[in-house]
Amino acid sequence: MKLFRKRKTHIKHVGQTELAVQIIDRMGWLQTRLAVFLNSKTADLSGKGKIFLLVAVCLMFGGISLYLLIQACH
Protein backbone atom coordinates (compact mmCIF):
# COMPACT_ATOMS: atom_id res chain seq x y z
CA MET A 1 0.00 0.00 0.00
CA LYS A 2 1.55 3.28 -1.14
CA LEU A 3 -0.22 5.36 1.49
CA PHE A 4 2.18 4.54 4.33
CA ARG A 5 5.44 4.30 2.43
CA LYS A 6 8.16 6.75 3.26
CA ARG A 7 8.69 9.31 0.53
CA LYS A 8 12.09 9.64 -1.02
CA THR A 9 13.83 12.93 -0.34
CA HIS A 10 15.81 14.56 -3.08
CA ILE A 11 19.34 15.62 -2.27
CA LYS A 12 19.90 19.27 -3.11
CA HIS A 13 23.13 20.21 -4.72
CA VAL A 14 25.37 22.69 -2.97
CA GLY A 15 25.32 24.88 -6.07
CA GLN A 16 21.55 25.20 -5.93
CA THR A 17 21.67 26.37 -2.32
CA GLU A 18 24.39 28.93 -3.06
CA LEU A 19 22.44 30.18 -6.06
CA ALA A 20 19.29 30.53 -3.97
CA VAL A 21 21.18 32.55 -1.35
CA GLN A 22 22.62 34.83 -4.04
CA ILE A 23 19.17 35.39 -5.54
CA ILE A 24 17.67 36.21 -2.15
CA ASP A 25 20.52 38.61 -1.34
CA ARG A 26 20.12 40.35 -4.69
CA MET A 27 16.34 40.67 -4.22
CA GLY A 28 16.85 42.19 -0.77
CA TRP A 29 19.34 44.68 -2.19
CA LEU A 30 16.96 45.65 -5.00
CA GLN A 31 14.08 46.02 -2.56
CA THR A 32 16.13 48.35 -0.38
CA ARG A 33 17.23 50.45 -3.36
CA LEU A 34 13.63 50.73 -4.59
CA ALA A 35 12.41 51.76 -1.12
CA VAL A 36 15.07 54.48 -0.87
CA PHE A 37 14.22 55.74 -4.36
CA LEU A 38 10.47 55.85 -3.69
CA ASN A 39 10.99 57.54 -0.31
CA SER A 40 13.05 60.25 -1.97
CA LYS A 41 10.37 60.81 -4.62
CA THR A 42 7.48 61.04 -2.13
CA ALA A 43 9.32 63.07 0.54
CA ASP A 44 8.06 66.36 -0.92
CA LEU A 45 4.40 65.34 -1.13
CA SER A 46 1.89 66.81 1.29
CA GLY A 47 -0.40 64.65 3.40
CA LYS A 48 -3.23 65.03 0.90
CA GLY A 49 -0.88 64.16 -1.95
CA LYS A 50 0.20 60.97 -0.21
CA ILE A 51 -3.40 59.96 0.45
CA PHE A 52 -4.32 60.69 -3.19
CA LEU A 53 -1.38 58.55 -4.36
CA LEU A 54 -2.40 55.74 -2.01
CA VAL A 55 -6.00 55.81 -3.25
CA ALA A 56 -4.83 55.85 -6.88
CA VAL A 57 -2.56 52.83 -6.35
CA CYS A 58 -5.33 50.95 -4.50
CA LEU A 59 -7.82 51.66 -7.27
CA MET A 60 -5.33 50.58 -9.92
CA PHE A 61 -4.48 47.27 -8.28
CA GLY A 62 -8.12 46.70 -7.30
CA GLY A 63 -9.15 47.25 -10.90
CA ILE A 64 -6.50 44.86 -12.16
CA SER A 65 -7.60 42.24 -9.62
CA LEU A 66 -11.24 42.68 -10.60
CA TYR A 67 -10.36 42.40 -14.30
CA LEU A 68 -8.42 39.17 -13.69
CA LEU A 69 -11.27 37.76 -11.61
CA ILE A 70 -13.81 38.51 -14.33
CA GLN A 71 -11.54 37.02 -17.01
CA ALA A 72 -11.07 33.87 -14.92
CA CYS A 73 -14.85 33.39 -14.66
CA HIS A 74 -15.40 33.51 -18.44
Looking at residue 74, what is its pLDDT?
83
- Domain residue limits, the chain: 14-43, 45-74
- What radius of gyration, in Å, describes the C-alpha atoms of the chain? 22
C-alpha dihedral sign at 36, 40, 42, 47: positive
Amino acid identity of 10? H
**∠ at Cα 72 (68, 74), nearest 5°?**
120
Secondary structure class of 74 (helix, strand, coil): coil
Looking at residue 72, what is its pLDDT?
95
Global pTM reads 0.55
Mean pLDDT in order along the chain per 10 residues (74 residues): 67 76 94 95 91 96 97 92
